[in-house]
A and B are shown apart, each in its own frame.
Chain A
């Protein structure tokens, strides 16, 4: 089992729809969780961080964390073509605090 898993299949949604991106992790002691967006040819940039169970909202983005089920998700409301990018989930491991990244999910928002 990979330490951080994301769906490698690209996700396509129509403009204005909700995009849902999911991530599972194996280290039950993980404390910090992050979502990054990476445009083609660019470096990853932080979108959201979440540290406790529940939802965290920031504009059109909502991060959801469920530590019991070991998953974290990102919802993008009113998706725009400019949201088209690869979304990376990152988890900080217990003890060493080293970040483990998933392989990313490519999102395409269709105009």
Chain B
């Protein structure tokens, strides 16, 4: 596609429910990132996929968070048993190796 596509753009969920956020990177980009941004805060790194290498999961805040990338393309970030503190904008970015990363428009998650 022309850019990084994320869906849904907005998600409201009840506390305790599971949610899945999707990221479709730019075609041919080998690297894919997930970040979280709370209101007025900086980018918080969550997970990094690079080609066929094992993902860098060092930023995942708890075991309720997981992500996968199927076929080296689309990625899904799953949050289980959502909590109110999970409310944030979740941003996905993709890049070729060692070149600039491009961001999707984000998914705004609200846990009520």
- Chain A positions within 8 Å of B, measured between CB atoms, are 31-32, 34, 42-46, 49, 88, 90, 92, 96-104
Pairwise interchain contact B56-A96, C-beta atoms closer than 8 A: yes
Determine, out of B12-20, B21-29, B75-83, B93-101, the stretch whose residues face the partner at the interface.
Answer: B93-101
B98 touches A31 (CB 8 A): yes
Residues on A with beta carbons closer than 8 Å to the beta carbon of B67? none
Contact call B42/A103, Cβ cutoff below 8 A: yes
- A43-B104 CB under 8 A given contacts A88-B43, A98-B48, A100-B45: yes
User: Complex formed: what's the CA distance from A96 to B35 in Å?
Assistant: 17
CA distance A44 to B106 in the complex (A): 10
Can you name the residue of chain B whose Cβ is closest to the Cβ of A43? Answer: B103
Within 8 Å by CB of A97, from B93, B98, B103, lies B98
Q: Which of B35, B41, B97, B102 contacts A46 (CB 8 A)?
A: B102
| Bound CA span A49–B102, Å | 12
Cα of A92 to Cα of B43 in the assembled complex, Å = 15
Any A CB within 8 A of the CB of B110: no
A99, B50: Cβ atoms under 8 Å?
Answer: no
Q: A44-B43, A49-B99, A90-B101 are in contact. List 16 more A-B contacts (CB 8 A).
A: A32-B98, A32-B99, A34-B100, A43-B91, A43-B104, A43-B106, A44-B91, A46-B102, A88-B43, A97-B31, A98-B45, A98-B48, A99-B33, A99-B95, A99-B101, A104-B42
